[in-house]
Amino acid sequence: MTQNDITLSLTDPADFPAFKRDLQAAFAIAVVEEMGELPDEPIPSDADLDKALASPNAVVLHIMQDDRRVGGAVVTINRDTQANFLDLLFITVGKHGQGLGKAAWSAIEAMFPETCSWETVTPYFEKRNIHFYVNVCGFHIVEYYHERNPDPHTPSPSGLPDNSDMFRFVKKMRRSASGSSKQSK
């Protein structure tokens, strides 16, 4: 699959309810694998998602393949520092294992070529995400958030097992002669 198979489109706020449902369904897979069942509240919670979607610098994106929605992402873009944050990334249930995540991430990087660094977090138990960010996308694990080392910026999402231990990932980008970013080795 080439990057050209995937496009990104801005999500209209009227589409946020469906975006949230699709994201929560995708995230539920790992939670059920880890916990055996879903908690009473969806993960991420509606409140956490509403906060992410309404963040002042948030860009909410549909991941599209052949004019069909196959996932979504929320990125926070700091226009001053270009130290940007991947808040949420998901591929729709039933579409995993097709290279869509890798193609989507490549499209996101291409959409924001001035980025100096990307940062994200994921639950410690989410092995697929850890593999994806480290081995597929080139992120590095730089911190482990847990009870004795909590995330100083963001409380952990509610409803996750084991006190919501999280890994923080960073991907440094380097600028090419044209001014666009490339992964730093």
- State the pLDDT at residue 107: 98
Per the CB < 8 A criterion, the answer to whether 78 and 11 are in contact is no
Domain that holds residue 37: 3-183
Confidence of residue 1 (pLDDT cuts 50, 70, 90): very low
Instruction: List pLDDT tens digits, range 78-105.
Output: 999 999 999 999 999 999 889 999 999 9
Written as six digits, the tokens of 46 are: 């509606």
Is the link from the previous residue into 44 a cis peptide, with omega within 30 of 0?
A: yes
What is the C-alpha separation between 11 and 63, in angstroms, rounded? 10
Query: For residues 3 and 8, which has the higher predicted lDDT (pLDDT)?
Result: 8
> For residues 177 and 157, what is the distance between their CA atoms, to the nearest angstrom?
40
Q: What is the pLDDT of residue 147?
A: 75
pLDDT grade for 183, boundaries at 50, 70 and 90: low
Domain count, the chain: 1
**pLDDT (tens digit, 9 = 90+) per residue, 20-68?**
999 999 998 877 777 777 777 888 889 999 999 999 999 999 999 999 9
Which pTM does this prediction carry?
0.86
CATH of the domain at 138: 3.40.630.30
Radius of gyration of the CA atoms of the chain, in A: 16
Q: Which of 158, 161, 152 is nearest to 125 (CA)?
A: 161
pLDDT exceeds 90 at position 125: no
Place of tokens 């730093």: 184
